Structure 1
Amino acid sequence: MRSVAVVLGTRPEAIKFAPVIRALQADPRFDPVVISTGQHRQMLDDTLEAFGLKPDIDLEIMAPKQTLSQVTYRCLRGLGEQFGKLSTEAVLVHGDTATTLAAALSGFHHQIPVIHVEAGLRSGFLGSPFPEEGNRRLVAQIAALHLAPTPGNHANLLREGIAEETIVVTGNTVIDALQWASGRSDSYGDPALADLDTDPRRVILASAHRREAWPHLPQIAQALVDIADEPDVRVIVPLHRNPVVREAMLPRIGGHPNITVVDPLPYLSFSKLMRRADIIVSDSSGSQEEGPALGKPTLVLGSVTERSEAVVAGTARLVGTTTEGIVAATTELLRNPAEYLRMATAANPYGDGCATERTVGAIAHFFGDGPAVDPFVPGVEVDEFAVELARRAPFARA
């Protein structure tokens, strides 16, 4: 059996890694060791529990008001100690977090091959999203195997000089997780949402938390207030636990009769809420993939995105961070049924529910324990030039 370390630390990593961990555990070729850094504490634990998973090793690195450098340092120190003791043959990392960067560096330092799941996403702007764009680029330079969700991600890696034989297009495992979660929760996860199935109003699911959005949170909050003033609309905001986000948004949106503010929801409940929503307004990376998979028009808060396939396919739209831009895009969908239908029926470019199977197959092939994997081919043809245009100057195009 091949011993592989799966390193995660945040809720998105847990969601997207969960199907892979479960598949590795069920595969007699592998002996996975799940290492949690605890970068997101409660949200991470709750998400793993929803999937019936528990880390084998927990580094518990979080402390109040840590800087990015401190988080990264504590991850490196803890992972270095573990990799020095474990006889692991590969380190699996996901995406773009501080945990991802630290685990990749530590694996490289210990001469352990690094396998990067969700590789190749690029916004084209080093500072946006920050620090995620930089983290992804750095990990790409030391990874031995790059598991890219889409052909566009594959093309990004080739442009950076990554060897083609080290790249496999798998689709995104978030689609697998979303399909697994379907119908597994009878509740929306908060008493304030108990009436949602009988509420006739159109539901806007909204969130904002990325660092580059922090200076614009007051404008985003005002946009949600203006949207909530529309007839027959209910805005639901699972508010991020970060004090910066709460202090900027809660005084503005709290108390509005058509805005329901709740704490972050368990993943199964949140999946149910996404299915109930009519429109998603968010800067969340997961929403840009989950919204299209569910047929939900998704308005992306920001001026650039590393997930431009959905913008080109037409199921997502970049709307910036100004109050006027967010309100205009949302009210157009509320008032224009044809435009709403166009976005709601656009094809999903991110996966077919088989990304986990391809991921495990690609890892086995990397070790010489299985055949090469047929790459994921999206059901929608996305022109590479259009994706590049959206990536490099997306807000001007939106």
Structure 2
Amino acid sequence: MKTILLVAGTRPEIIKTAPVVLEAQKRSDVKVVYCLTGQHKTMAMEALSIFGVQPDDDLQIMRPNQTLNMICESVFAKLPPVIERIKPDVVMVQGDTTTAAMTALCAFNMKVPVAHIEAGLRTFNMDAPYPEECNRRLVGVVAKYNLCPTTLALDYLRREGVPENTLYLTGNTAVDALRFIQEKHNLDQLEQILPDVKTPYVLITAHRRESFGGGFQNICTAIRESALRYPGVQFIYPVHLNPNVKGPVHEILGSIVNVKLIPPIPYLEMLTLIKHCEFVLSDSGGIQEEAPSFGKHCIVMREVTERMESVTLGMSELVGTDTAKIINAVRRTIEGKNKYDTGKNPYGDGHASEKILDILQDHTSTR
């Protein structure tokens, strides 16, 4: 039997790795040991409960006011004993967190093959997103199994000279997760989430550190001007608790009648809002995958994105934090001038988890 040690801790990591765990449970010749890092404990447990997945281990690395280097230190101190005890055939990580990068390096140092879910995403800018661009490049260097979500991601790794025999095209497990959720959970209880919701509405998510300061002022000003221009459209914004976000958002948008500012919400409620919105204004990475999965246009308020596939197809539009560009994109979308085909999801067919396990079962040797 093949043993996979899967290390994850943030809510996005759990959402994108849970489908692999569920698929492994259907198979008799592979076992996934799920190790939490202990970050974002409340959100992690919420995400696990959506899929009915229970962790097998917990590194409990979270410390007050910890820095990126403290996270690195904790992974190097706490993960090796787990690897020694489990003796996995492969260590699996997802995405581009600091814990993913340090887990991959730790496994590499211990001569254990690394599998990287969502390999090959690139902006080619080390500062945007920071530190994620560096983290995913580090994992790509040591990974024996680069599990690429799209042909573009695979091509990026080819251009970087990553060995061809480490490259695999799988699709994105986010699509698997959404398929599972829509089968198991009701995403149509909009009024129960927000009793005073008004349709049509635009959903907003914005919280990236690269935009703090002037960029965030621009974003909020664009939302304000758009809301005033279209009083019949509600703008719903779950506001991140970070003072760099909360401060300017409430200062600039708090008095606008058709802007509804709400606290952060659970993942299933966020998906419900995405499913029923007109379109999305976001600087999030994950929503750039989720919006096309629901056939929703996404205006991306970032200077660069590692998810160009939906931009190329017109499902998303990259506008940065320029106030005028955001306002114009909102205007075109509300007035129906953005035309795109929602029939094909560029991020996969919902069967990435099966492909990933097939690859690992076919190519890994049992220790």
Relative to the length of structure 1, the TM-score reads 0.86
For residues 1-398 of structure 1, the aligned pairs below 5 Å read 1-182=1-182, 184-185=185-186, 193-196=194-197, 199=198, 201-215=199-213, 216-229=215-228, 230-335=230-335, 337=336, 339-340=337-338, 342-343=339-340, 345=342, 347-367=344-364
Question: What secondary structure, in the 3-state scheme, does the structure 2 residue paired with 1:182 have?
Answer: helix
C-alpha displacement of 1:57: 1.1
Q: Which moved more, 1:108-117 or 1:255-264?
A: 255-264
Task: Give the 3 Å change call, closer, same or farther, for CA 64–343 of structure 1 in structure 2.
Answer: farther
1:176-204 deviation digits (Å, cap 9, x = unpaired)? 111211261367589661344xx3x3211
Tell me if structure 1 keeps the 8 A contact 2:236–2:261.
Answer: yes
In 2: Cα distance, 1:185 partner to 1:346 partner: 22
| Separation of aligned partners in 2, 1:4 and 1:307 | 28
8 Å contact kept, 1:154–1:169? yes
Gap regions ≥5 residues in structure 2: none
Measured against aligned partners, the alpha-carbon deviations of 1:193-232 in whole angstroms (never above 9, x if no partner) come to 1344xx3x32111111222122322221222222222131
SS of 2:219 mapped into structure 1:
helix
Aligned CA distance change for structure 1 residues 9 and 189 (closer, same or farther; 3 Å):
farther
Structure 2 CA distance, aligned partners of 1:188 and 1:299?
25
Equivalent pairs counted in the alignment come to 363
Q: Which amino acid aligns with 1:165?
A: N
- How many percent of aligned residue pairs carry the same amino acid? 37
| Contact 2:203/2:281 (<8 A) preserved | yes
Where 1:121 maps in the other structure, the secondary structure is coil
The answer to whether the 8 Å contact 2:4/2:88 transfers is yes
Mark the CA change 1:195 to 1:249 in structure 2 (over 3 Å): closer, same or farther: closer
CA drift at 1:2:
1.5
For residues 86 and 189 of structure 1, do their structure 2 counterparts lie closer, same or farther at Cα, with a shift above 3 Å needed? farther
Report the residue type matching 1:211 in the other structure: R
Q: Which SS does the other structure have where 2:32 is aligned?
A: strand
Q: From the superposition, tell whether residues 362 and 190 of structure 1 become closer, same or farther in structure 2 (CA, over 3 Å).
A: farther
How far apart in 2 are the matches of 1:314 and 1:242? 32
Q: Any runs of at least 4 consecutive aligned residues in structure 1 with deviations exceeding 4 A, and if so which?
A: 186-192
Residues 132-169 of structure 1, C-alpha deviations (whole Å, 9 max, x = no match): 11111111110011100111111111111111121110
Structure 1: any 5+ residue segments left out of the alignment? 370-398
Of residues 158-167 and 261-270 in structure 1, the stretch that sits farther from structure 2 once superposed is: 261-270
Q: Deviations over 1:314-349 (max 9, x none)?
A: 1111011122221121111112x2x23x13636321
Give the residue type in structure 2 aligned to 1:225.
R
Distance (whole Å) between structure 2 residues aligned to residue 289 and residue 332 of structure 1 = 21
- Higher mean C-alpha deviation, range 93-102 or range 248-257: 248-257
| Contact 1:313–1:346 under 8 Å retained in 2 | no
| The 10-residue stretch of structure 1 (30-39 or 255-264) with the greater mean CA deviation from structure 2 | 255-264
After TM superposition, give the deviation of residue 123 of structure 1 in Å. Answer: 0.9
CA gap of 1:346–1:187, structure 2 versus 1, over 3 A, is closer
**Counterpart for residue 390 of structure 1:** none
Q: State the SS of the aligned residue for 1:348.
A: coil
Amino acid at match of 2:232: D
Relative distance call for 1:156 and 1:223 in structure 2 (3 A) is same
Moved more, 216-225 or 242-251: 242-251
Contact 2:204 2:282 in 1 (8 A): yes
Q: Which amino acid aligns with 1:222?
A: T
| Partners of 2:187 and 2:271 within 8 A in 1 | no
AA at the equivalent of 2:204: A
Q: Quick one: structure 1 residues 242 and 6, their matched pair in 2 at CA, closer, same or farther if it must change by over 3 Å?
A: farther
Report the Cα distance in structure 1 between the residues aligned to 2:300 and 2:311, rounded to whole angstroms: 9
How far apart are 1:97 and its partner, in Å?
A: 0.6
How far residue 72 of structure 1 moved from its aligned partner, in angstroms, is 2.5
Structure 1 residues 71 and 209: alpha-carbon distance in aligned structure 2, compared to 1, 3 A threshold? farther
Shift of 1:84: 3.0
